[in-house]
Amino acid sequence: MATLGSAPTSVDASLPTAIPVASVTSAPRHALLVRVTHWIFTLSFFALLATGTEILISHPRFYWGETGNVLTRALFQIPIPSSRTLVQTGYGYVLPDQNGWSRALHFQAGWVAVLTGLLYALYGLFAGHFRKHLLPTKADVSWRSLSSAIASHLRFARPTAAEAHSYNVLQRLAYLFVIFVLVPLVIWTGLAMSLAFASAFPWSVALLGGHQSARTLHFFASIALVLFLLVHLVMIFLAGFRNRTRTMITGSVSRTKELP
């Protein structure tokens, strides 16, 4: 026994030391409807992208106004071979014509995307999903917050652990722009190319500048969505592809905490 003033007794080195233990828990992240609509829209989007490319190959020329054909001066032309002999592209051959089935599937996939997007939008509005998870706060849109987020993205910095549980300001603004601007514009311009829709709502086509203007705007809006998809995939890989994909499937994100 140690007495007052005596040296403290030494700790036996043979005794085991406490080792921190990591506890992994799951926290809810994405609601079921958000996950289901996400994957359905993803599949329909890739179907639209593939069939839209086939439709583009059949006539890779764009015009502005109501009418446009091979005898009309093009606003611009995509430098690719066509699948139709009447379209002069400067190449000495034509590609196989896949215009028939691609238009039918494009139409079907488009309606799947529209109905899925409408269901997601109704849920987002009435369940508060947009307000809680996507609408940025006043502090988020400050110059300091925006500049920090932009600099982090330009450095391709790996997202922080906190960003696994919520969206940063650039994600919020990008998602809102896609949901409320790009996707509605793609739907509007796509419907405007339909003769039945144009007959029922001629003013909607006139606002776009005509059928050929609608097709041109539809192309640029689609390109913007593809660019968003590429950036989205890059950020998923930086954040951890397996973890983020598993979160969008299961709806929960893993949290690691060291126990004493």
Q: What tens digit of pLDDT does each residue of 65-81 get?
A: 999 998 899 999 999 99
SS3 assignment for the chain: CCCCCCCCCCCCCCCCCCCCEEEEEEEECCCHHHHHHHHHHHHHHHHHHHHHHHHHHHCCEECCCCCCCCCCCCCEECCCCCCCCCCCCCCCCCCCCCHHHHHHHHHHHHHHHHHHHHHHHHHHHHCCHHHHHHCCCCCCCCHHHHHHHHHHHHCCCCCCCHHHCCCCHHHHHHHHHHHHHHHHHHHHHHHHCCHHHHHHCHHHHHHHCCHHHHHHHHHHHHHHHHHHHHHHHHHHHHHCHHHHHHHHHHCEEEEEEEEC
Q: Which amino acid is at 256?
A: T
Q: Is 24 a member of any domain?
A: no
**Under a CB-based contact definition with an 8 Å cutoff, are residues 181 and 217 in contact?**
no
Give a yes or no: residue 182 inside a domain: yes
Mean pLDDT, consecutive 10-residue stretches, the chain (260 aa), reads: 48 52 59 94 96 95 93 93 89 89 95 96 92 84 80 70 68 92 96 91 94 97 96 85 85 60
256 occurs within a structural domain? no
Domain hosting 238: range is 29-251
In a domain, 13, yes or no: no
Number of domains in the chain: 1
Residue 90 sits in a domain whose CATH number is 1.20.950.20
Whether 144 is covered by a domain: the verdict is yes
Rounded to two decimals, what is the model's pTM?
A: 0.81
